[in-house]
Amino acid sequence: MPQGQPSSVPDDGLTTRQRRNRPLTIVHTGIGKGKSTAAFGLALRAWNQGWPIGVFQFVKSAKWKVGEERALRVLGDSGEGGTVAWHKMGEGWSWVQRDIADSEEAAREGWEQVKRDLAAETYQLYVLDEFAYPMHWGWVDTDEVIQVLNDRPGTQHVIITGRNAPEKLVEAADLVTDMSKVKHPMDAGQKGQRGIEW
Q: Which superfamily is assigned to 22-180 in CATH?
A: P-loop containing nucleotide triphosphate hydrolases (3.40.50.300)
Please report how the helices 35-48 and 67-76 are oriented relative to each other, as an axis angle in degrees rounded to 10.
Answer: 10
Query: In angstroms, rounded to a whole number, what is the distance separating the alpha carbons of residues 175 and 24?
Result: 7
Three-class SS of residue 196? Answer: coil
**Which residue type does 38 have?**
A
Taking only the tens place, the pLDDT of each residue in 69-87 is: 888 989 999 999 999 999 9
Taking only the tens place, the pLDDT of each residue in 44-63 is: 999 999 999 999 998 765 56
Over residues 160-189, the mean pLDDT reads 91
Under 8 Å between Cβ of 160 and 30: no
23-47 burial by CB neighbour count: b if 16+ within 10 A, else e? bebbbbbbebeebbeebbebbeebb
Domain ranges of the chain: 22-180
Taking only the tens place, the pLDDT of each residue in 111-162 is: 999 999 999 999 999 999 999 999 999 999 999 999 999 999 999 999 999 9
Rounded to the nearest integer, the mean pLDDT of the chain is: 87
